[in-house]
Structure 1
Amino acid sequence: MTTRKHFHAKPLARVIALASMPLVTFGAANVAAQESSELQELRDRVQTLERTLEGAVSTAPELQDDNPYLLRNGDGIKIGGTTISFGGFIKADAIFGSGGNGSLNSYTVGLPRTYASAAASGESDWKTGFSARESRLSIGTETDDVAGHMLTTYIEMDFNQDLNDALNETGNEIVSNSYAPRLRQAYGSWNNWDFGQTYTTFTDLAALPEILGQGKMAAFIYVTQPLIRYNMAVPGGKLMMSLENPEDGFYGNSYDDQSYPDLAVRYQLRGQFGFYSIAGLLRNFEDNAANETKTDGAVSLSARIPTVGKDDLRLQYSYGALGRYMGLLTYPDVDLVARAQGDVEPLKTYGATAAYRHFWSPAWRSSLTVSHTEIVDGLRASPAGTLSYFDSSTSVHANLLWSAHKNLTLGLEYAYWDFGEIASSSSKQYEQVMASAKLSF
């Protein structure tokens, strides 16, 4: 049981006043004309001190009898000098996709490559899949005065395993629909430094379109990976520089270990006219068997521009040796046929995404998103070489979302994909309808 001692401000104020009276009297004897004004000033100061002390006592936090070190506030739970907060959401999706061929249901773990396979199947049947795998759980902390700076940490996981995991039966749709947790983000920030795993510096999440399938557009940069990043304020906004985990692989196949990290730099301009970013990426490509190394890079421009009311326009354009950074495993990092011949040739591509978000009312909104990507180098690959069968893809997403509360969003979305065939002017199509409920906490 905690014992409280009551502190009274008024007796202290009286003591201060009495102790000060000789000074007032001495001053009055020497300067009689100023007695009245000095005494009034002293009284005002005493009253101010008294109000301050009373306010400090009345607003002091109440200790809990069971645990005096545990205090709850609006930001989480405070233990000692660290505040811990919990968050996340439950996301339930129902997905209806074209191109079904009776194989393992991959609609709920779909990527552009699996959509392309469905488009190429020649089947016209629509199939159904349900999933809660995008649900997330996150824990954040804040610790004051760690060597003179605030220390924050954040860890986030979901259950959205890829198709290979499903094929290997680490998850199933037969009995339990059980899927293992997957690390998405785990990083800490201190004194303008970020350490750990989070979104690459090469992308700008301010320009990320609001669609129901996380990041599943043809061309947007949407990668999380380990990095070390420094952030600094510069005129007009923020400058970020990072060393990030290097990799030049494709769909689970790593070609060779890398000698140097990827270098990413981004400058973001912030103001009443929106968010604008320019980013650069420098990468090293290696093939130990051929004893060959090449260095190449990419650039990206992005913006989030306010328009009418709460509406906004979101844009991103990227060009260069993008590889795994763009479109969720759409392209490899190097030309696979050239690699088979002992050459290291970074695959040059470009991608553009544009999205307009419109608010019909405070609770209702819609987004229309168009995204396109394409290989710009002359292809040295057969249809079975560089890609499964396509060298360009275009996606269109249109949705209607209703948020009755900031913690509840229901939505319906239609997506259309067009995949251009390698060495051909023809293309294949895939369609999808997705209904989603997102309940945040």
Structure 2
Amino acid sequence: MTTTTRFQTRPLVRAVALAGLPLVIMGSGSALAQGSELEELRQRVQQLESRLEVPAESKMEEENNYLRRDGNGIRIGNTTVTIGGFIKADVLAGSNGNGWENAYSVGLARSFANAAKNGESDWKTGFSARESRLSLATKTLDVAGHDLTTYLEMDFNQGADAPGNEVVSNSYAPRLRQAYGSWNNWDFGQTHTTFSDLAALPEILDQGKQAAFVYIRQPMVRYNMAAPGGKLLVALENPEDGFGSNSYDDQSYPDLVARYQLRNSYGIYSIAGLLRSLEDDAADETEVTGAVSVSARIPTVGRDDLRLQYNYGALGRYIGLFTYPDVDLAAQAGGDVKPLKTYGVTAAYRHHWNSSWRSNLSVSHLEIVDDLEASPAGTLSYFDTSTSVHANLLWSAHPKLTLGLEYAYWDFGEIATSSREQYEQVMGSATLRF
């Protein structure tokens, strides 16, 4: 329905009416002397006022019929576009000579373990803004009867050896994090694996760097459906059983992943299953294997919550940012595809001190279950257990601004020995969202 906006004092109308009053008087002859002619004059002024009124909606469409604000985004036709992201400025001091090579802020358990074993006692410091992100989201109404949404996200963590350096300009190229679209309960593209429960992800500054949390992204096709008490997600996802820069690319079948999530006033609970085919064309060997995961996010006192995750099976690249390979590398060198089974557990507690201050304590442990063909040649490093502890204090003066300080401790158990190596780091971070 068209609405009109009326000026309360009508200063413009009054000015125009008064300016035209002499003409009206001249045209009305002896109107001032006659009551009927005075009434006619009043009516003419009212007509002049009505002609100057413009319907609010019509005026807006007339000025800009294509581009307009719509909620939190910009509407272009039937599509709303939203730009988001954050600037994340980090400073890290790491023990044993680790200070973020080339400002690369994605620390791996293997790199921490190597630092722990290198014998240096000095702490090194590094600064980075490479975790900063830029995202673009869209929502288009009524695409074949359903809303169509898309999401594109980038950051600058290509790798420690990627073009760019800390010497002069700290120039780094963006990389693709997520790129997917959703329509009619289907997801197409690259996003977090269905095997990962982001609701149970601990809130730490060095995000994703727990010893045993499932935290990867990959291309997929996924269907989401309602289920009793929650939802069921089933996906075919990109298969891979390489390691580092060695990608075999000889998988015949996609990874099959399913997750059931229950959500109610008692928390968020999930169980997930993974079925995958590990193959080696050179040895003409194929092994079908899998893994399971259970997780929960449980509200406790006030705004506090407890986050839990347990994983078991041929987890390989899915867990701990690829701490261990998918197969025993020594066995594979001998022509045998032997899935490397591990288990991992993570527990984190978040406590709100008040509306602005909060703290998180996270403990995570990952361990190889199988006996190795040769140690440590069957893995990517010298250790078969890793344990991480993170403790932080965060201050959010505003939902758009968070400052934090975090301490992390890592412990690595050497294969076939009782020796252990330790690594520590202190990290400060400022996150400014837009």
TM value normalised by structure 1: 0.84
Pairs within 5 Å for 1:119-198 = 119-165=116-162, 170-198=163-191
2:213 to 211, 216, 220: 220
In structure 2, what residue type is equivalent to 1:171?
A: G
RMSD of Structure 2 on Structure 1 (CA)? 2.0
Alpha-carbon distance in 1 for matches of 2:99, 2:347: 34
Q: SS of the counterpart of 1:163?
A: coil
Q: Once the two structures are superposed, what CA deviation does each residue of 1:58-117 show, in whole Å capped at 9, x if it has no partner? A: 885852555321111322000000000000000000000001179955773421111011
Alpha-carbon distance in 2 for matches of 1:381, 1:58: 81
Indicate conservation of the 8 Å contact 1:95/1:107, yes or no.
no
Alpha-carbon distance in 1 for matches of 2:272, 2:119: 40
Alpha-carbon distance in 1 for matches of 2:372, 2:187: 39
1:295 to 283, 288, 291: 288
**Residue 321 (structure 1) aligned with residue 314 (structure 2):** yes
Pairs within 5 Å for 1:394-413 = 394-413=387-406
Quote the residue 2:29 is aligned against: none
Relative distance call for 1:62 and 1:346 in structure 2 (3 A) is: farther
Alpha-carbon distance in 2 for matches of 1:386, 1:61: 69
**Residue 97 (structure 1) aligned with residue 97 (structure 2):** no
Q: SS of the counterpart of 1:108?
A: coil
Moved more, 173-182 or 383-392: 383-392
Quote the residue 1:51 is aligned against: none
Indicate conservation of the 8 Å contact 1:101/1:123, yes or no.
no
Indicate conservation of the 8 Å contact 2:102/2:165, yes or no.
no
Indicate conservation of the 8 Å contact 1:76/1:86, yes or no.
yes
Indicate conservation of the 8 Å contact 1:264/1:280, yes or no.
yes
**Residue 231 (structure 1) aligned with residue 228 (structure 2):** no
Pairs within 5 Å for 1:21-420 = 60=57, 63=60, 65-100=62-97, 104=101, 108-165=105-162, 170-420=163-413
Identity over aligned residues, as a percent?
Answer: 73
In structure 2, what residue type is equivalent to 1:158?
A: D
Quote the residue 1:38 is aligned against: none
Q: Once the two structures are superposed, what CA deviation does each residue of 1:138-180 show, in whole Å capped at 9, x if it has no partner? A: 0000000000000000000000122342xxxx12111111111
Q: Which has the larger radius of gyration?
A: 2
In structure 2, what residue type is equivalent to 1:91?
A: K
Shift of the alpha carbon at 1:426? Answer: 1.2
Q: Once the two structures are superposed, what CA deviation does each residue of 1:251-304 show, in whole Å capped at 9, x if it has no partner? A: 121134210000000000000000000000000000101101010000000000
Relative distance call for 1:122 and 1:7 in structure 2 (3 A) is: closer
Q: SS of the counterpart of 2:95?
A: strand
Alpha-carbon distance in 2 for matches of 1:97, 1:5: 63
Indicate conservation of the 8 Å contact 2:103/2:128, yes or no.
no
Q: Once the two structures are superposed, what CA deviation does each residue of 1:173-218 show, in whole Å capped at 9, x if it has no partner? A: 1111111101000000000000000000001100000000120110
Q: SS of the counterpart of 1:253?
A: coil
Alpha-carbon distance in 1 for matches of 2:56, 2:216: 46
Q: Give aligned pairs, total.
A: 386
Shift of the alpha carbon at 1:366? Answer: 0.2
2:424 to 398, 410, 431: 431
Indicate conservation of the 8 Å contact 2:4/2:55, yes or no.
no
Q: SS of the counterpart of 1:318?
A: strand
Runs of 4+ in 1 over 4 A off after TM superposition: 4-8, 57-62, 101-107
Quote the residue 1:20 is aligned against: none
In structure 1, what residue type is equivalent to 2:179?
A: A
Quote the residue 2:37 is aligned against: none
Gaps of 5+ in 2: 7-53
Indicate conservation of the 8 Å contact 1:410/1:438, yes or no.
yes
Q: SS of the counterpart of 2:60?
A: coil
Alpha-carbon distance in 1 for matches of 2:398, 2:341: 44
Relative distance call for 1:424 and 1:59 in structure 2 (3 A) is: farther
Gaps of 5+ in 1: 9-56
Shift of the alpha carbon at 1:250? Answer: 1.0
TM value normalised by structure 2: 0.86
Indicate conservation of the 8 Å contact 2:328/2:337, yes or no.
yes
Q: SS of the counterpart of 1:379?
A: coil
Q: SS of the counterpart of 1:100?
A: coil
In structure 2, what residue type is equivalent to 1:309?
A: G
In structure 2, what residue type is equivalent to 1:95?
A: L
Indicate conservation of the 8 Å contact 1:278/1:301, yes or no.
yes
Relative distance call for 1:104 and 1:208 in structure 2 (3 A) is: closer
Alpha-carbon distance in 1 for matches of 2:57, 2:343: 58
Alpha-carbon distance in 2 for matches of 1:101, 1:131: 14
**Residue 440 (structure 1) aligned with residue 430 (structure 2):** no
In structure 2, what residue type is equivalent to 1:350?
A: Y
Indicate conservation of the 8 Å contact 2:255/2:276, yes or no.
yes
Shift of the alpha carbon at 1:383? Answer: 2.0
